[in-house]
Structure 1
Amino acid sequence: MSANVKNDQDFGEKPTETRDTDHYLEEYTTGFVDKWDDLIDWDSRAKSEGTFFIEELKKRGAKRVLDVAAGTGFHSVQLIEAGFDVVTADGSPEMLVKAFENGRSRGHILRTVQADWRMLNRDIHGHYDAVVCLGNSFTHLFNEHDRRKALAEFYAALRHDGVLILDQRNYDTILDHGYSSKHTYYYCGDNVQVEPAHVDEGLARFQYRFPDGSEYFLNMFPLRKAYVRRLMREVGFQKIDTYGDFQETYREADPDFFIHVADKTYIEGEDR
């Protein structure tokens, strides 16, 4: 990193030992959040995703959507413009400020809520047709109890026939075969480098380098696909479809990301 570019993150003297769920609040600093849109590039990401999420929600008749990992507001704005009634939530106040600014610049007033997923239903009101948790955000939970509690809160926030859509990196391939990324769907910004600085079974520490020489890090838990699906089932979701980079059919090693679409609808006699 060039000497004149300041990084306002602090991981302490042993960054790879920072494996705490709540540390993400310190990782999404104002400096990093200000660059986040350079990383994802809204126009390029909208083009790469197409209407996948919109179609999944519309075919279920969803109207009221809770975006629990809103980040800088990309999906909240996309869903509002597609006609959904959206509540925008995130654990990071810096992200919510940026999301509100982004929404306003596009002619929308986002309804924002700062919420800890583990106590989600304390901070939100009513029930939703859909909960979306996107941007590899579930990976910020390092403790299995936290993951189970968050999924239970998502489940409770849904109407009886609601749907949870949750995505994650393909950590199976990273752990088993090493890292490679096409950067086709999620991180579409020009001249932004994203790669792991450290990976083991309990930590994926990703480094983000920007054209101005600045670099930032996120410490995340490398979730395996089958493990996430199992937790979803144990919370109560009976039908879970998993897509690889928005495709229903894929080779396990190919996708950069997996998208889990979990329906809450009760299926009588279903063998779980």
Structure 2
Amino acid sequence: MQENGGGLREMFSLEGRVAVVTGGTGVLGGAVAAGLARAGARVGVLGRRRERAERAAHRLAAEGAGALALQADVLDEEQLRRAREEVLERWGRVDILINAAGGNVPGAVLEAGEDVFQGLGIEGFREVLDLNLFGTVLPSLVFGEAMAAGGRAEGCVVNFSSMAAIRPLSRVAGYSAAKAAVENFTRWFAVELARRYGPGIRVNAVAPGFFLGEQNRDLLVDGDGNLTARGRAVIEHTPMGRFGKPEELAGAVVWLCGPGASFVTGAVVPVDGGFSAFGGV
């Protein structure tokens, strides 16, 4: 009995692994970073603002984790390479990359009732596409190269997709298009790395449902915490009848990064309370 239990624990253990979490200063990225640390990984928290990355790393260290603050913009390849060198200098390897950086921008959101031909600005569309798609591709290339180096060819990349990739959501055309592209890149990169470097490097994605974060809170709840009209529509189309908790996303990511998912690559796992399964009737 103890032997079986030990084997089960090992399937979800990340002991000895080194992870980098882009967007690790945000609500969901921070929860994932904490989940990886609790599973035994040493975690580099990467964000654009050093002070926020340092605060997030300090919280992990206070729980006994090995943690490192990394300052980089996910759209700046030179900064990403410097961050990679910091990780390699500290821990000598990169095993896990979580691409949690992303989100929407105000210029890419149609106001309620706004005409698409008047309100959908191409600059906002381009900005959100850059942030989500290229902000996933660039870190994947930079940190993935470290996974493939030295003949080891071992590691795991987990990208962040969205419900908007599965079913385009009203008012957020740019974000929907960007996340759909992230899913396509996830599958392409998974196939490319497996065929070129063998089965040791896996690439997957999670598609979060609706979690309250910094960017979407005002769209989903008002100042008193009551649901907005959009928030009510989301809950009505979520069979579990609630928003997700950040730690619920972390569990799926830990599984994808561990030995228990060793034959999983090119997959997109919804963590959405049933939103993507529900047809509305």
Same fold? TM cut 0.5 = no
TM interval, short-chain normalised: 0.3 to 0.5
Q: Whose strand fraction is larger, Structure 1's or Structure 2's?
A: 1
| TM-score, normalisation: structure 1 | 0.45
* Structure possessing the higher radius of gyration over alpha carbons: 2
